[in-house]
Structure 1
Amino acid sequence: MKNKEITSIFVMNYKAGKKSTTLKLGLSDEELKDFSSTVEDPSERSMIDYFGEECMEEFSTPKKYYINGNNKTQCYQLDIFKKIMSNLNDASELKSIKNIFNDDGELLCNMVAYISKKENGDEELFLYNIGKNNLIKDIGFWLFNFKKGRQKAIGQKVGSTKNNGAYIEQVENGFSLPTNSCIASFYNRKNTSEGNQYKIKIYQAYNFDEAFNVTETQHEYVDRILKKFNKKNDSIKLTKENISVNFINKDYDEIEKVIYKSEGLTKTFVNFHDSQRRIIKKIDLEELKDVIKSLKEYVDKNADAGFVLENIPEINEVNNELEVTKDSIPTFAALLDNKIIERLLNKKIEIPYFKKHK
């Protein structure tokens, strides 16, 4: 890695919904320094801002993206990395290779984390998948194993020259440490006056989501966001007049079933953060009324509108709230993301989530 030196390495056995196992490899500073020089810098080419307009217009997660944030930032990726960092701080040292292999010689760990810590206290974490391809099959790569007769961890590139000659060791059980194909990184800045506290970079979105069973994590996040709209205190408000959102009958289970059937809907609520930059937060209540009125008039005049009156949220002026049901949740999502589209030539109105939901 250019301008970065790995200061510690951890292996993890991550299972969503269950307690994760994290163990530190007992490598010397010299071994860590040597290994650092073999690790490729992950490419940031074509990486886009997760909360930027380009990404928000997409209905699925981009392949590569980054997130700048702090402790107020709401996103499931940050929750995952905070949990990882907490596990690393509490990790014990790997004492025996048997702890990460089962009786059939299968590797129990599925991830490895490289930490680069700077003198100013900043930390950067790099995540890699490990699996069958990392089991030792041949010489010529970095591995982790234990020398017989002593409980000291060593990391050594097999077949390399070191000091007084070639160092080659017969290994019964071991695994190679990956030097490329980083799936994600996490930068934790100690002094926030110098910039954003956190920066997350996802280099392989599919592999990241798969490794952390993101579907389950996303569902927890959607549930949290929906209930935050309806909190008694400090709930999420809309428009300049700060109107409330009322999910009729508080039927969260039915609403969530609708959301989870659509990747686009799920993404909207997972990515939602209560920012004043959102159009729905900046418009007047009268403007929102005009939008609702236009949608109803369009449905009345167009039998093939693609949505019906039940799919449109209602404004309750007495209670100063927007009423949303499981039938109108796609339109509500479109309002949150400003994705209701009116075609100028044929005056056709589209709510993309209905097309995707079908």
Structure 2
Amino acid sequence: MKLSYIIALLLVSLNILSQASITGIVLDQDQKPIDGVVVQYGDLYHEFTTSDEEGRFVIPSKHKSIIQVTSMGYKSKSILVSNIQKNNIIILESAPIELSPVEITPVNANKILSQAIYNIKVKLLTKTNIEYLLHIKQIETHSQEEQEFFIKYISYLDKNDPKRKNIPYVLKLIDIEVIHKLSEENTSVVLRNNIFDLGYHLTRLDDYYIKNNFKVIEAESPDNLIMLSAIPKDDKIKESVNYKLYINKDDTSFVSLHFDANYRDIENNYKHSRGFKYKINKMETNIQFVRDKQNYYLSNCSQIVEISVIHKNKKEENLIFYSNSTSIGTNYTQDTSKLKKINGSTKNVIKMCLDKSN
């Protein structure tokens, strides 16, 4: 084959490849790259990509002739694809969020919250096996009977999908250590039957629950964070609940949540289930994301729940449930193909622990 023919074929191939995608670069007014910019394209803008730390993004050229470019702290832009093909530099104008430590409208607070949750879901770390240590402990306070376990597992996220309510983590079991398990003579029906089921790894993140059950009423700006406070819409429990959500100022990403509630003095708070009635007396939940370069991952998810149970035979039990899942590394490199998949249910994990100990 002649060299001239090979060169011509190569040039044609490169031309076809260049036509298959379009590259753009997003800069601020100081000519500095902006990472994490959301670039939406396609029919109804259902598809998206994000810019890297150099401000660079790539989209298929076959899609709609207009793209939407959005980043918190900047004015959004609609741009013709044909303009990007002529000049691929996109300049975004600054539009910073300014908050004072006073009450703001629920509408504005909710907008900030929605954008912050969307941003963290766009920036979650993918293609990485993150290792966690989970500590589960259950105590029945009358009898002092208890169960306690430590579990190592990994979490893997294949790709970001900010429009999904559920985050499609794949969880796999590494190891189990049983510290305490019930004796053969145990008396606790609650512990023996593993009645209650709680989550230990954050698998759902959206603003639906918050907006439907709480009023996000004010925002403060301590240090580099935006803090949103929320109160329940149910006046009966308004004084019993403390709900704080924290958002990074620099990229408006949701980073942590603190929730604590004391329902002990609220009357007629029992719910009925399978031959017994129960009520939650106290609950505390903490969720924390940390940044890894330009991305985030779940660093900690913990909760303490105190529950009162009354059985059909009038027997009363009080259960304290504790779970704490903490990341211990983002560089798990061992083969995970043979590890057993698990779900985010404590009931499922406790059963696995008990099966191993028998």
TM bracket, shorter-chain basis: under 0.3
Which TM-score applies when normalising by structure 1?
0.24
Structure with a larger share of its residues in helix: 1
Structure with a larger share of its residues in strand: 2
